[in-house]
Amino acid sequence: MENEFDLVILGSGSTAFAAAIRAAELDRTAAMTEMRTLGGTCVNRGCLPSKNLIEAARIVWEAAHPRYKGLKSAKMDFNFAELISQKQDVVHAYRDKKYQSILTDDDNIKVFEGKAELIDAHTVRMGESILSGDQILVATGTRPVIPQIEGLDNVPYLTSDLLTSDEAQELKELPESLVIVGAGYIALELGQMFHRFGTRVTILERSQVILPRYEPEVSDSLTFILRKEGLKIVTEAQVTRVSHNSQNEIEVTANVGGKAQTFKAQKLLIAAGRQPNTDGIGLEKVGVQLDEHGFVKVNDELQTSAPNIWAAGDVIGNQTESQPATPVGAHDGVIVAKNALAGAHQMIDHRVIPRVIFTDPQVAVVGQTDEEVVGSGVRCWCGTIPLEYVPRGGATHQTDGIAKIVIDRDTQEVKGVSLVMPNAGEVIHEAAMAMRFRARLEDFIDMIHVYPTMAEALKIAAISYFKDPAKLSCCAE
């Protein structure tokens, strides 16, 4: 049949494309399905458009808030609609170059548009089309969680999809004020971005702190920085109701410390997390098991409970210690193709996955937190230094932030690193590569770093095990 393939993939994001490309390299055929936009979340409404606009906002902010004496502040005029237009151009160009062109150049890969549903373990229905696959990969990703809040069905609200292109939910006008429900990475990135463009931003977080799963030093440092910049962050705020008032504002009522408070804004952004796209695609018909949150369960080869069905990317959540992130999905998509089509039996290794939050300064982490290491039964030591101890921070007037290192006290192996600093997303890769090869504390100390760089923070944090870093001379060990 025309629609028979070696691998049928539900989804067309980074995980799906990585698997399809490797299938073609193995001289096998692959089909992808897509019910929305080719390329999935990252290129269309996630990583790419958000980082594009975050950088534009940083330029505007720094012009008005110079860090150096002798530099006068300057109000930079900008056109938000034009910024949205150029963002769309970037998305279109990247989608065409990195996704559409691959389909054009490779006859072994085809895409079918529409909603996909498994009929049995080898068959997918796409509207009136039927796709048959010897192997199946579930790579349907995630979507925003919409919490149960009284009145939410009756007011307009935004989600992280506000940065999408060519869709009705795309935000094209800068709001005067914005209330954000949630304080995870999406809320913090977008909150700071809108604040820097001039929007009055209030962030409501139900936990005691922002980023509760990160090191407490990270949460404390970033909270201080964002509040210092002017964002309103309210913790222990349980949202109970939303409504419209007579001024056409959205009113958000929250229980804060046992008392009801009302927050008003022109727009409401719901950033309460992500949920897997596993409903309505027939997984229950073919015996694919899900966890209590709806994520697909997989083994160490990314195989589901159905032998010929595999899953990878955000749709598996934290299974096998994975992290929902584009490069993780792409990496694992290749492994699925090799295991499903070539019998490679390659096991995944999610021990070292660097992650970044693109606030300014950035947050970057890799490995385990202090609490996680202790919880695993390991006797640990951790050292945290303020960024003012890092010469680069002082030289560039960027001293707000921290660097934390966690080690196994018995073996001296570095188990985790957390950074809040400019360019933390670049620096964290040094720590990740070191941890990949199970580097010890002395390896970080003995590594000669360029002076002055933010990467020196890793060395100085390691030295703090032996010495007071406040009393070091430049480049001293």
The answer on 254 and 176 residing in a single domain is yes
CA distance 213 to 288: 29
Tokens of 356: 């970044």
Grouped pLDDT means (10 residues each) for the chain, 477 residues: 88 96 96 91 90 98 97 96 95 87 84 95 92 97 96 95 84 96 97 98 97 97 98 97 92 95 97 96 97 97 97 95 92 98 97 97 98 96 97 96 98 98 98 98 96 96 94 78
For residue 233, the enclosing domain spans: 152-272
* Cβ atoms of residues 336 and 32 within 8 Å: no
Q: Are strands 109-113 and 30-34 parallel, antiparallel or unpaired?
A: parallel
Q: List Cα–Cα distances, 380 to 11, 330, 410, 445, in angstroms.
A: 42, 33, 8, 18
Tokens of 385: 């230094």
Instruction: Confirm if 363 and 420 have CB atoms less than 8 A apart.
Output: yes
Domain edge (last residue) among 237, 272, 307? 272
103 plus 250 within the same structural domain = no
Q: Is the same domain home to 333 and 361?
A: no
Q: Give me the pLDDT at residue 477, please.
A: 75
Domain co-membership, 323 together with 371? no
Residue given tokens 């018995």 in the structure block:
410
Q: Examine residue 476 and state whether it is found in any structural domain, yes or no.
A: no
Tell me: do 231 and 249 sit in the same domain: yes
Same domain, 431 and 381: yes
Cβ atoms of residues 272 and 109 within 8 Å? no
Whether residue 27 sits in one domain with residue 99: yes
Cβ distance 353 to 366 under 8 Å? yes
Give yes or no: residues 12 and 137 share one domain: yes
pLDDT at 476: 67
CA distance 230 to 136: 49
DSSP string, 361-428: SEEEEEE--HHHHHHTT--EEEEEEEGGGSHHHHHTT----EEEEEEETTT-BEEEEEEEETTHHHHH
Pair of tokens at residue 323: 């992290």
Examine the domain organization and report whether 389 and 435 are in the same domain: yes
Q: What are phi and psi of 56, to 5 degrees?
A: -60, -40
Tell whether 384 and 411 lie within a shared domain: yes
Quote the CA–CA distance of 145 and 64 in Å, as a whole number. 35
Cβ pair 143, 169 in contact under 8 A? no
For residues 20 and 136, membership in a common domain is answered with yes
> What is the domain-level CATH number for residue 264?
3.50.50.60
Whether 19 maps to a domain, the answer reads yes
Q: Do the domain assignments include residue 347?
A: no
Rounded-to-integer distance, Cα 3 and Cα 323, Å? 33
State which of 222, 243, 272 marks the end of a domain: 272
Q: What is the pLDDT of residue 474?
A: 79
CATH of residue 463's domain is 3.30.390.30
Q: Tell me whether residue 348 is in a domain.
A: no
The reply to whether 396 falls in a domain is yes
Domain count of the fold of the chain: 3
477 lies in a domain?
Answer: no
Mark whether 198 and 289 lie in a shared domain.
Answer: no
Rg of the chain, C-alpha, whole Å? 24
Q: Which of 229, 256, 272 is the last residue of a domain?
A: 272
How far separated are the first and last CA of the chain, in Å rounded? 69
Residue 189 lies in a domain: yes
